[in-house]
Amino acid sequence: MITDYELIQQFQMGDKSAFDTLVKRHFNTTYGMLVRMVQEPMDAEDICQEVYIKVYKNLEKFRFESEFSTWIYRISINAANNYFRKRKLREIIGLEKTIKQMESPEEKPFSSHDPVLWDAITKLPKNQRTTVMLRNFQQLPFKEISGVMGITENSAKVNYHYALKNLKKHLKKDYE
Amino acid sequence: MNNIEDRLKLFVVHSGSIPDKDAFIEILHNKIEKREKYRQNLLNSLAGIIVLVLCGTGLFLNTGGIESVDDQMDFLFFAEYDVESIGSGWIVDEEFIFEAAAYLLSEEDLISTGWSIVEILDELNLINDFELSKNGG
């Protein structure tokens, strides 16, 4: 089977169809991760589109210094963090409530298994939230998490440790 | 901590269907194309604006700014068509007065038009001018 690197090389040599093969190959992972991260399938699909538009624009400049999947993870994490930032902003100005009120139950086929936990995760600082998500939702080892986030492996472990501590603090009631 | 980790492991999403890959790719290509067109239009517009600003600046600097309309000939040209100027003797001549009088006299109501001739001539201050011109003015 043709590797990701070979497909990227084909794309860089002008074969734009190689991009479609790459999307097909990584779509499930990217979408799956995003839907777990943002808990909204429609939003996850939109973010996924943004991720692959970014990939398309920057694939010419890909320097083969990391795995393609790690690169996609990194772009996805940044896109998801942007989403959370916008969401927080909407919450501050009170738009989020209005949007939630407008959504009917039929329009929301996904629902979180544990909304309290989800709420606590979204309130974590950016690096802690990302570590928790990559570690638990994607089952990534700390080494890969460090590669995706551009931090050391130890730093990833520390972030994860504090994330768990903070989650426990947020969910104090449940453990009393 | 372990409780939290266990809870995180159990944290799943009741997933619906995963979107169709081909449809996703189609939408993706449309978006890429749209954005590329938008970017191109934006660049063209920006280039156009820059060219216009440069041309405008160049023209302004070469002509020395906006000139005031104080040329006597231009003023006369516009004054020629000024209605107010009829009474001030600009285009008053015998022919004009005779023609005006003939027009007014041709009206049906001779008595009322007779007075209106006098009124108009008086209003335009033409009687004196006419007298002056007849006396060699």
Any A CB within 8 A of B1 CB: yes
Cβ-Cβ contacts under 8 Å for A72 (sequence gap 6 or more): A26, A29, A30, A51, A55
Q: Do B24 and A45 touch (CB under 8 A)?
A: yes
Per-residue pLDDT of chain B (137 residues; tens, 9 = 90+): 567 888 887 776 555 678 899 999 999 999 999 999 999 999 999 999 999 999 998 888 887 655 555 555 555 555 555 545 555 555 556 677 777 777 766 665 555 656 666 676 666 665 555 555 555 54
Q: Which two tokens stand for residue A132?
A: 């928790």
**C-alpha span between B46 and B52 (Å, rounded):** 10
pLDDT tens digits, one per residue of A42-66: 999 999 999 999 999 999 999 898 8
Among A16, A52, A170, the strongest candidate for a mutation testing the B interface, having the largest count of B CBs within 10 A, is A52
Measured distance CA(A50)–CA(A72) in Å, rounded:
11
Instruction: Determine the 3-state secondary structure of B93 from DSSP.
Output: coil
From the list A36, A80, A57, A69, the residue with the least C-alpha distance to A147 is A69
The distance of A55 to chain B (nearest Cα, Å) reads 11
Q: How many Cα atoms occupy the beta-carbon half-sphere of B39 within 13 Å? A: 7
**Torsion, CA B102, CA B107, CA B109, CA B111, rounded to 10:** -10
Q: How far apart are CA A14 and CA A158, in angstroms?
A: 43
Determine, for residues A165 and B1 on separate chains, whether the beta-carbon distance falls below 8 Å.
Answer: yes
- For A171, nearest residue in chain B (alpha carbons): B4
pLDDT in tens, A129-163: 999 989 988 889 999 999 999 999 999 999 999 99
pLDDT computed for residue A107 by the predictor: 45
The CA-based angle A135-A140-A142, given to 5 degrees, is 80
Beta bridge partners of B13: A112
Across the interface, whether the CB atoms of A117 and B9 are under 8 A apart is answered no
The pair phi, psi for residue A171, each rounded to 5°, is: -100, 30
ipTM over 0.85: no
Q: Residue A143 CA to chain centroid, in angstroms? A: 17
